[in-house]
Chain A
Amino acid sequence: GAVVSQHPSWVICKSGTSVKIECRSLDFQATTMFWYRQFPKQSLMLMATSNEGSKATYEQGVEKDKFLINHASLTLSTLTVTSAHPEDSSFYICSARDSGRFGETQYFGPGTRLLVL
């Protein structure tokens, strides 16, 4: 299978600061990447779809000015949580779509735990 990395794996920040999370597809090119948020023992909640070279598409209820997404290359998408607050504390997961070698499949990064104090 394909490999997707995510950095950082853990981040603690003060309220009001911004945090950037990187998602990289290591051995394939991904024109589409996705960002999810997950609370403990719950399912993944899709936040936005990131397409290389174009603006991200946000799910209903997700503040696009708070969660900035940039997909600058075929292997990198970034999520920036701006002016983070304690309610933004969560587990954020990215995934990358691979339409090639093994057929239509989405591969996931290891996730980022964000704690806002």
Chain B
Amino acid sequence: AQTVTQSQPEMSVQEAETVTLSCTYDTSESDYYLFWYKQPPSRQMILVIRQEAYKQQNATENRFSVNFQKAAKSFSLKISDSQLGDAAMYFCAYQAGGTSYGKLTFGQGTILTVHP
């Protein structure tokens, strides 16, 4: 079974600084997707960024980028120019490709605090 591990229960960053959240996963599949979701205090899950495993290029979305290391099974999220609104719980998630019906496996989550 696939597992996703977020080893940092909590992280903090100063406003305007950069922070990196770690995520590792375990799978024997070659076709899969990886995601970072953000859950602010409202508890609405918001998609931050997605990565297809077959793509070598790291995904980026404005201030958010990933470092996808397929061989190492690592998928870290970098937040640049951190803003107060980035404060949230962040979840890394894995989805197998093929006929998996899109089931997501989540990590334990990392609580990010942004200091003004």
Contacts and interface: CB of A to CB of B under 8 A. Distances in A.
9 contacts: A42-B109, A43-B109, A51-B101, A93-B43, A93-B45, A95-B104, A97-B101, A106-B47, A106-B102
Contact of B103 (A43, A49, A110, A111): A49
Contacts of B22: none
Contacts, number: 61
Interface of A: 1, 32, 34, 38, 41-44, 46, 49, 51, 91, 93, 95, 97, 99, 103-108, 110-111
B50 A1 contact: no
Nearest to A104: B33
Contacts of B43: 38, 91, 93, 110-111
Main DSSP-derived SS at the B contact region = strand
Interface residues of B, number: 24
A41 B44 contact: no
Contacts of B101: 32, 49, 51, 97
Contacts of A34: 102-104
B87 interface: no
